[in-house]
Amino acid sequence: MPCTNRPIYNVTQDSEIPLIGCISFGVIDRGTNVLQIRPTSICVLSCIFCSTDAGPCSRWRQTEYIVELDYLLSTIRTVLKIKNSNKMEAHIDTVGDPLTYPKIVDLVHKLSEFPEFKVISLQTHGVLLNDKLIDELAEAGLSRINLSIDALDENLSKKLSGTETYDISRIISIAEYISLSPIDLLIAPVWVPGLNDHEIPRIIRFAKQIGAGKHWPPLGIQKYEAHKFGRKPPKVKPMTWYKFYNSLRALERKFKVKLVLKPSDFNIFKLPSIPIPFKRFEKVKMKVVGPGWLKGEKIAVARNRTITIVNAENIPIGTTVYARIIRVKHNIFIAKLE
Ligand code: SF4
């Protein structure tokens, strides 16, 4: 299938689409002191293991979203009032790459003005970073970059990124530059068994050598998981959690570095979630307001939340429907038409 770009939907205050409820944009509160901030869904890479099927080579996506900055900030303000804690972390993670957000520096700067946020972190593969942008993000108040480096080998890193132009030598220079900046660096490879096993020790050595992790752990190795709508490299079988943690412990002993991480390593703790206005299996009247993220989906609105209707291909935008809520976890809502 040829790789293409998809239409971008601008989620603005005028769109009347709430920024809570959808996995692909807005704000996600999973009942801790961390708010996940998702200003964009776009990605420029097409990693062959991507759990969110992002990038130009996506098979399942039909729409990308960009959220208006002021609208995002007003939702964050509302959520922070409910969370009522001054030990919050803003984690800009997204289902793509946050650096595709045109106002990423402004966003970080505005987040740093909220007294509730003590930490502002960002998850990226780094291809859109450069020294000037790193300086600007540091100046704006970014505390940590979680930088995904999945292989140091040139050919393998290209293969894993699904992108011919991916240049690992540039990413290495960027990692070195971050490690010398006021921003903390955490290197976060995805361990894809059978593909980058030999790279994991090299990445650990590299993280130690450049002095990653001054305030937080230097590495956050992630386990590859096969997701229903994610990309699955052929012949790759996910490791069991048992094997994954055993392997990390063996590497910890060998390299004398912390690899098995706990929420407390990042000062993450439980904090009551904002109210969840639906019950699972409830039938709800909702207004269909826009295209859904994945093919066949539409987004709808009820009770100040956005709901994804998964089987709404033929439902026109602007109509009102009754749909059954089938998922309510963490204020992310999925509904089905019956
Ligand atoms: S893994 Fe991250 S960088 Fe790679 S395609 Fe997915 S969202 Fe983009």
| Of the candidates 151, 131, 127, 148, the residue with the CA atom closest to the CA atom of residue 139 | 131
- Tell me: do 220 and 296 sit in the same domain: no
Q: Is 170 left (phi over 0), alpha (psi -120 to 50) or beta?
A: alpha
Distance CA(208)–CA(63), nearest Å, equals: 40
Calculate the average pLDDT of the chain.
96
CB atoms within 10 A of CB 193: 16
Distance CA(143)–CA(92), nearest Å, equals: 11
Per residue in 135-153, pLDDT (tens digit) is 999 999 999 999 999 999 9
Question: Which atom of ligand 1 approaches the CA of 43 most closely?
Answer: 8
Q: How far is the CA of 131 from the centre of ligand 1 (A)?
A: 21
pLDDT of residue 216: 97
Residue whose CA is closest, atom 1 of ligand 1? 50
- Tell me: do 196 and 294 sit in the same domain: no
Q: How many domains does the chain have?
A: 2
Which domain, by its residues, includes 326? 283-336
Which of 266, 291, 319 lies at the terminal end of a domain, its last residue? Answer: 266
Residue with tokens 């970059």: 145
| Of the candidates 41, 103, 16, the residue with the CA atom closest to the CA atom of residue 286 | 16
Contact 29, 332 (CB under 8 A): no
Joined together, the tokens standing for residue 87 give: 């030990």
- Tell me: do 254 and 325 sit in the same domain: no
CA dihedral sign, ordered 274, 280, 283, 288: positive
Question: Which atom of ligand 1 approaches the CA of 231 most closely?
Answer: 6
Is 190 near ligand 1, meaning CB less than 6 Å away? no
Answer whether residue 2 shows pLDDT above 80.
Answer: no
Q: How far is the CA of 271 from the centre of ligand 1 (A)?
A: 29
Distance CA(268)–CA(156), nearest Å, equals: 34
Is 45 near ligand 1, meaning CB less than 6 Å away? yes
CA atoms within 13 A on the CB side of 322: 4
In a domain, residue 3? The reply is: no
In a domain, residue 278? The reply is: no
Q: How far is the CA of 107 from the centre of ligand 1 (A)?
A: 21
In this prediction, residue 3 has a pLDDT band, given cuts at 50, 70 and 90, of low
Q: How far is the CA of 293 from the centre of ligand 1 (A)?
A: 16
Answer whether residue 1 shows pLDDT above 70.
Answer: no
Distance CA(60)–CA(294), nearest Å, equals: 5
pLDDT of residue 5: 77
In a domain, residue 276? The reply is: no
Mean pLDDT value across residues 252-278? 97
Please give the single-letter amino acid code of residue 131: D
Per residue in 32-66, pLDDT (tens digit) is 999 999 999 999 999 999 999 999 999 999 999 99
Q: How far is the CA of 312 from the centre of ligand 1 (A)?
A: 27
Is 163 near ligand 1, meaning CB less than 6 Å away? no
In a domain, residue 42? The reply is: yes
Which of 204, 234, 266 lies at the terminal end of a domain, its last residue? Answer: 266
In a domain, residue 275? The reply is: no
User: Residue 72: in which H helix or E strand, if any?
Assistant: helix 69-83
- Tell me: do 30 and 175 sit in the same domain: yes
| Of the candidates 9, 77, 38, 23, the residue with the CA atom closest to the CA atom of residue 307 | 23
Answer whether residue 4 shows pLDDT above 80.
Answer: no
What proportion of the chain, given as a percentage, has pLDDT over 90?
Answer: 97
Per residue in 267-317, pLDDT (tens digit) is 999 999 999 999 999 999 999 999 999 999 999 999 999 999 999 999 999
Answer whether residue 107 shows pLDDT above 50.
Answer: yes
pTM more than 0.85: yes
Residue whose CA is closest, atom 2 of ligand 1? 96
CATH number at 46 reads 3.20.20.70
- Tell me: do 216 and 294 sit in the same domain: no
Question: Which atom of ligand 1 approaches the CA of 44 most closely?
Answer: 8
Q: How far is the CA of 95 from the centre of ligand 1 (A)?
A: 8
- Ligand 1: which of 3, 42, 52 to mutate, judged by most atoms within 8 Å of the beta carbon? 52
Q: How far is the CA of 45 from the centre of ligand 1 (A)?
A: 6
In a domain, residue 213? The reply is: yes
- Tell me: do 125 and 232 sit in the same domain: yes
For the chain, how big is the Rg over CA atoms in Å?
Answer: 20
In a domain, residue 277? The reply is: no
Which contacts of 81-84 are long-range, i.e. CB under 8 A and separated by 24 or more positions? 82/274, 82/275, 83/29, 83/33, 83/35, 83/116, 83/271, 83/272, 83/274
